[in-house]
């Protein structure tokens, strides 16, 4: 789910969770539910916290089942701030891969139920980030929820506006070899933009699949542009240890990140040969999920 809403989402979100759940991959800004007070977990909540902490260590099939089970466990908790924290934390982790529509539906149901029990006020005129998290599941992961609240409606409007801005995006960046790339100059190609960072475990996990797809489709007009807001001193040693051949572009001033409203990484966008934004992800994707995205641009 964000350093902004990345999933500087889950790390700062989980920093607010007293850094018990998630260690470094995601990055939310400091807008978690509790202030600076230490969180005290009940005996009923502690096992859930421990399972959330270990989710990333599980094989994907086990993780899918565990995620769904955790959603049901959280839903049965009393309506306390901790319940909302846990529902948000689970939602944040649930999109790191392909765990099935039924799993995501249960996660969304749990977060929606927690927000209905404990509505959150706007923050500086914006809907609370948990409403945006829920809206992202609905808009991009094709789940459905019963949520009749102005905050949720505002979150959906926010996402629609961000997508409209991404459709009009254009930028020029330079890759690590000194080559300049302009987005609109790539009309006629299928372009997959991937926003990532060296410190992000889900980003690292999807890189081999991106490389495999790049090699498979580059002769059919696929261009993969991986964009990092770090500097070359961090990115070059990282890539030297990996066999990555697709272009890696640097955005150290975050101008392109800001233009495309990148509030969480990894995040990917697919533009078809006419420059139309046809698919996007809100988190890490598997090769199968990337193939589904590319199919929207005509690559099979």
User: What does pLDDT average to over the chain?
Assistant: 89
Statement to judge: residues 70 and 39 lie in one domain: yes
pLDDT higher than threshold 70 for residue 28: no
Please state the domain count of the chain: 2
Statement to judge: residues 152 and 214 lie in one domain: no
Burial zone of 31 (CB within 10 Å; 0-12 exposed, 13-18 middle, 19+ buried): middle
| Its pTM surpasses 0.75 | yes
Nearest CA to 152 out of 178, 127, 180 is that of 127
Residues 92, 82: Cα–Cα separation, whole Å: 15
Domain boundary among 163, 196, 223: 163
Residues 37, 15: Cα–Cα separation, whole Å: 12
pLDDT higher than threshold 80 for residue 18: no
Residues 194, 57: Cα–Cα separation, whole Å: 24
Statement to judge: residues 30 and 159 lie in one domain: yes
pLDDT of residue 2: 45
Statement to judge: residues 209 and 157 lie in one domain: no
SS3 (DSSP) at 178:
coil
pLDDT higher than threshold 80 for residue 33: no
Q: How confident is the model at residue 37 (pLDDT cuts 50, 70, 90)?
A: low
Indicate the range of 7-16, 73-82, 226-235, 255-264 predicted with least confidence.
Answer: 7-16
In the chain, the DSSP E strands lie at 172-174, 180-182, 190-196, 222-228, 248-250, 267-271, 277-281
pLDDT higher than threshold 50 for residue 10: no
- For 129, phi then psi, to 5°, come to -65, -20
Q: How confident is the model at residue 27 (pLDDT cuts 50, 70, 90)?
A: very low
Q: Is residue 278 assigned to a domain?
A: yes
Q: How many helices (H) and strands (E) are present in the chain, helices listed first?
A: 11, 7
Do residues 120 and 151 make contact, with C-beta atoms less than 8 angstroms apart?
yes
Q: Is residue 4 assigned to a domain?
A: no
Statement to judge: residues 151 and 177 lie in one domain: no
Domain boundary among 163, 186, 218: 163
Statement to judge: residues 194 and 158 lie in one domain: no
pLDDT higher than threshold 80 for residue 8: no
Statement to judge: residues 150 and 23 lie in one domain: yes
pLDDT tens-digit readout, 98-135: 999 999 999 999 999 999 999 999 999 999 999 999 99
Domain boundary among 134, 163, 192: 163
Statement to judge: residues 69 and 21 lie in one domain: yes
Q: Is residue 206 assigned to a domain?
A: yes
pLDDT of residue 263: 86
Statement to judge: residues 267 and 208 lie in one domain: yes
Q: Is residue 150 assigned to a domain?
A: yes
CA dihedral 245, 254, 238, 7 (to 10 degrees): -100
- For 77-98, what is the mean pLDDT? 96
Which residue segment(s) compose the domain that 118 sits in?
A: 9-163
Statement to judge: residues 179 and 260 lie in one domain: yes
Percent of the chain with pLDDT strictly greater than 70: 88
């Amino acid at each position: 789910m964000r350093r902004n809403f990345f999933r500087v989402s889950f790390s700062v979100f989980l920093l607010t969770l007293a850094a018990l759940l998630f260690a470094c991959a995601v990055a939310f800004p400091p807008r978690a539910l509790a202030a600076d007070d230490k969180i005290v977990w009940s005996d009923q909540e502690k096992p859930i916290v421990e399972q959330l902490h270990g989710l990333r260590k599980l094989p994907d099939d086990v993780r899918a089942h565990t995620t769904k089970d955790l959603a049901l466990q959280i839903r049965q908790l009393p309506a306390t701030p901790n319940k909302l924290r846990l529902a948000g934390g689970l939602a944040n982790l649930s999109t790191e891969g392909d765990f099935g529509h039924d799993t995501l539906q249960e996660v969304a149901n749990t977060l929606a139920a927690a927000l209905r029990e404990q509505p959150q006020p706007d923050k500086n005129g914006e809907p609370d980030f948990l409403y945006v998290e829920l809206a992202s599941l609905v808009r991009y992961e094709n789940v459905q929820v019963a949520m009749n609240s102005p905050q949720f409606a505002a979150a959906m409007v926010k996402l629609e506006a961000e997508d409209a801005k991404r459709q009009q995006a254009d930028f020029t960046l330079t890759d690590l070899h000194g080559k300049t790339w302009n987005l609109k100059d790539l009309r006629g190609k299928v372009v997959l933009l991937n926003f990532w960072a060296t410190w992000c475990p889900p980003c690292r996990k999807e890189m081999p699949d991106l490389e495999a797809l790049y090699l498979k489709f580059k002769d059919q007009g696929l261009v993969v542009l991986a964009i990092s807001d770090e500097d070359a001193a961090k990115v070059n040693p990282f890539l030297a240890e990996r066999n990555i051949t697709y272009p890696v572009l640097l955005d150290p001033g975050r101008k392109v990140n800001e233009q495309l409203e990148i509030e969480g990484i990894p995040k990917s966008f697919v533009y078809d040969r006419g420059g139309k934004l046809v698919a996007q992800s809100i988190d890490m994707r598997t090769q199968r999920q990337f193939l589904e995205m590319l199919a929207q641009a005509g690559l099979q």
